[in-house]
Amino acid sequence: MKRILNIKWMHSLLLSVLLMGFSSCIDYEDFNKNPVVATTIDPNSQLSYIQLCMGGDWLMEQPFAYYYSGFVQQLQGDWSATHFGGEYLIDDAQFQQPWERIYTCHLKNLADILWRTEADVEQKNINAVARILKCYFFLILTDMYGDIPYFEAEQGYITGNVTPKFDEQELIYKDMHKELLEAEEQLDEKADKLIGDIIYSGDLKKWRKFANTLNFRIAMRLVKVAPELAEEWVTAICNIESGLLGVGDDALIHYMDLLDWDETEFRRNGLAQLWRSRENAPMCYFCTTMWDKLKTTNDPRLLILGRCYAEDSTDPFLRTDLTDFIIEKAPKQLESIEAIKPGFYWWDNWPAGFMDGDTYYGKECRPQLNKGFIKGDSPAIFMSYAETELLLAEAKLRWPAINDSKTVETHYSNGVKAAMGLLKNFDLGEEVSNTEMASYLSRNPLPSDKDGQLQFINEQLWILHLINPSEAYSNWRRSGYPVLKPSTEYGAAVKDSRTIPRRLKYPLFEQTYNPTGYYEAVGRMGGEDNWNCRIWWDKE
């Protein structure tokens, strides 16, 4: 409740700030000058705004829902998820959204905070958190496109440089690692209070853990391209006294229950709004790859994550839930619930369905995302204890000597349980019990061989990141798990690739606005902006 109230308060404040910014539209400077209006924005207000954008900017997240969820075969069947993420269609309008939103809005505000607080010892904490969040957003960008403007980015207002160089991803990663180490050390309990912090309410101990865990995520990206450097970074991070995210440290925001397509509205969960869609009946269906994995392992999350709904209301939250009815009445019971193969739409390969009296149930047998995930007030989870434990399981497996007393099995078990428990944050109607968690782990023990353990760990990350498609896509490329087949191998027709793409193409406008930087970056890919070209750390 406290976070929701903070969001309401911040919206009023930010609206006032924006109105102030539009008050001087003519040249009569003295006439328009208001002696009581501030000429700068409080960095804490900017911090709140930036944090809301992390999970509330639906335009930034549009490719996450339309491409990434389809690429990694979590969801499929909806027109957008299949058209873009299943049939592999190149669409510049989609590719440009994260680039434009993050650079021109989110990173711009962070650059302003950093510029105005850099030399101010009384604002060292807001500066440190801005450094951390800068790395968070740049990680999304570089993992999406590869080489991007980094060192010279966001300097247009400050230095006049509006054509920044595209930096190599290797250099970006090394600088982000350094930035996070320094920002963690910079945080000081005796310095300024963070009064605009929606995520952690100014708790610097948790911000230190967030910085370390983000750095840990970054380090684990390097396990194939630079395994020795990955080990060095992970070892250093595990030796930091402040530690990693633990129980109760999840980085998340509970938003407001709104449905609003305004591009400046960030008080509701943007991904949830995309999944809800503009239609009267959401059609956010599960892909067979994820559905069958949950089903064959008898995962207790199966019928919590996915439900079957009737189309008997234009209000998506008033639709009749038919899941239990189908399992009870259908001849094949649970097997009658049929997900959608990669590259196909919900109307393809029509499910067998069944008759009950005079009523035929066909489309209703398609499993959809639980309606709790499409509510505007559902939380956006940026990093979690569950992810930390699963990454620690892999790190311990790769480098047993790291400063960590727990076993691979313990970290894995903790991660799976935490991932199941994380669902309590959503209004899903049911929770996974401790007994169900224990039974699941007993039925699906961690294999004894290294490859099998890597597969199990990263398949759990894939399930966990159902609600974070950007990270699901990055972790799949990093780890190679789950092993996915392209849509063509399921018989689907595709558009612009016969394999699962490895990156998004640069926005076309960069050819005009920053041709030198653009063509230099494209030259490093062999002269073509190819979305099947692997980024630096994505090695086979």
Give the model confidence (pLDDT) of 315-351 as tens digits. 999 999 999 999 999 989 999 999 999 999 999 999 8
One-letter amino acid for residue 279 of the chain: E
Does 235 lie in the same domain as 321? no
Instruction: State the virtual CA torsion across 28, 32, 33, 34 in degrees, nearest 10.
Output: 170
Chain centroid to Cα 362, Å, comes to 33
Number of domains in the chain: 2
Residue that is last in its domain, among 446, 466, 489 = 489
Confidence of residue 278 (pLDDT cuts 50, 70, 90): confident
Confidence of residue 156 (pLDDT cuts 50, 70, 90): confident
Does 342 lie in the same domain as 391? no
pLDDT at 2 over 70: no
Confidence of residue 39 (pLDDT cuts 50, 70, 90): low
Query: For position 38, what pLDDT does the model report?
Result: 54
Query: For position 96, what pLDDT does the model report?
Result: 98
Answer yes or no: is 505 within a domain: no
Does 453 lie in the same domain as 390? yes
Residue that is last in its domain, among 453, 470, 489 = 489
pLDDT at 256 over 50: yes
Contacts of 111 (CB under 8 A, 6+ apart): 134, 153, 154, 155, 158
Q: Could you tell me the two tokens for 165? A: 């160089």
Sign of CA dihedral 186, 188, 192, 198: positive
Q: Could you tell me the two tokens for 169? A: 């991803």
Does 321 lie in the same domain as 189? no
Answer yes or no: is 514 within a domain: no
Give the integer Cα–Cα distance in Å for 227 and 239.
Answer: 18
Cβ distance 492 to 86 under 8 Å? Answer: yes
pLDDT, averaged across the chain: 93
Does 16 or 162 have the greater pLDDT score?
Answer: 162
Does 228 lie in the same domain as 318? no
* Closest among 109, 105, 103, 3 to 46, alpha carbons compared: 109
Does 44 lie in the same domain as 178? yes
The residues facing 306 across adjacent strands are 369
Does 444 lie in the same domain as 359? no
Q: Could you tell me the two tokens for 185? A: 């050390």
Query: For position 29, what pLDDT does the model report?
Result: 40
Residue that is last in its domain, among 461, 489, 517 = 489
Does 244 lie in the same domain as 169? yes
Cβ distance 223 to 230 under 8 Å? Answer: yes
Give the integer Cα–Cα distance in Å for 37 and 385.
Answer: 43
Answer yes or no: is 463 within a domain: yes
Give the integer Cα–Cα distance in Å for 157 and 173.
Answer: 25
The residues facing 380 across adjacent strands are 253
Answer yes or no: is 509 within a domain: no
Range list of β-strands (E), 137-265: 148-149, 166-167, 251-254
pLDDT at 284 over 60: yes
pLDDT at 22 over 50: no
Answer yes or no: is 141 within a domain: yes
Does 466 lie in the same domain as 366? no
Count CB atoms within 10 A of the CB of residue 246: 15
Q: What is the extent of the structural domain holding 228?
A: 2-18+39-256+377-489
Answer yes or no: is 28 within a domain: no
Q: What is the CATH number of the domain that holds 80?
A: 1.25.40.390
Query: For position 279, what pLDDT does the model report?
Result: 79
Distant-in-sequence contacts of 432-439, Cβ < 8 A, 24+ apart: 432/300, 432/301, 432/304, 433/300, 436/300, 437/300, 439/300
Answer yes or no: is 13 within a domain: yes
Over the stretch 262-271, which tens digit does the pLDDT of each residue have? 999 999 999 9
* Closest among 75, 50, 24, 58 to 342, alpha carbons compared: 75
Answer yes or no: is 346 within a domain: yes
Does 314 lie in the same domain as 449? no
Does 69 lie in the same domain as 201? yes
Over the stretch 74-101, which tens digit does the pLDDT of each residue have? 999 999 999 999 999 999 999 999 999 9
Give the integer Cα–Cα distance in Å for 522 and 168.
Answer: 11
Does 434 lie in the same domain as 339? no
* Closest among 280, 284, 413 to 346, alpha carbons compared: 284
Report pTM: 0.93
C-alpha angle with apex 81: 320 to 325, nearest 5 degrees?
A: 20
Per-residue burial over 181-197, b = 16 or more CB atoms within 10 Å of its CB, e = otherwise: bebbebbeeebbebebb
